[in-house]
Amino acid sequence: MSNISNAEYPMSDFKKILVSEEEIKGIISRIANEINDNYAGKKLLICAILKGAFIFTSDLIRQIKIPLDVTFIKASSYGNGSVSVGDVKVIEFSDLNDYLSFDILVVDDILDTGNTLCSLKSFLKAKGFRNIEFCTLLDKPDRRESPIDVKYIGKKIENEFVVGYGLDFNEKYRSLPFIASLDEKMYK
- Active-site amino acid positions: 112
Cα(69)–Cα(73) distance, integer angstroms: 14
Report yes or no: 165 and 178 within 8 Å, Cβ to Cβ: yes
Smaller CB separation from Mg ion, 13 or 116:
116
**Residue 144 Cβ vs ligand IMP, minimum distance, rounded to whole Å:** 8
Report what 4 binds from ligand IMP, Mg ion, none; CB cut-off 5-8 Å by kind: none
Report what 111 binds from ligand IMP, Mg ion, none; CB cut-off 5-8 Å by kind: ligand IMP
Report yes or no: 182 and 169 within 8 Å, Cβ to Cβ: yes
Q: Is 109 in the site for ligand IMP (CB under 6 A)?
A: yes
Q: How many residues does the chain have?
A: 188
Cα(117)–Cα(146) distance, integer angstroms: 9
Q: Tell which phi-psi region holds residue 81, choosing left (phi > 0), alpha (psi between -120 and 50) or beta.
A: beta
- What amino acid is encoded at 69 in this protein? D
Smaller CB separation from ligand IMP, 45 or 157:
157
Residues that contact Mg ion, how many (by CB under 5 A): 1
Q: Is 175 in the site for ligand IMP (CB under 6 A)?
A: no
Per CB under 5 A, residues contacting Mg ion are 52
Per CB under 6 A, residues contacting ligand IMP are 52, 108-116, 161-163, 167
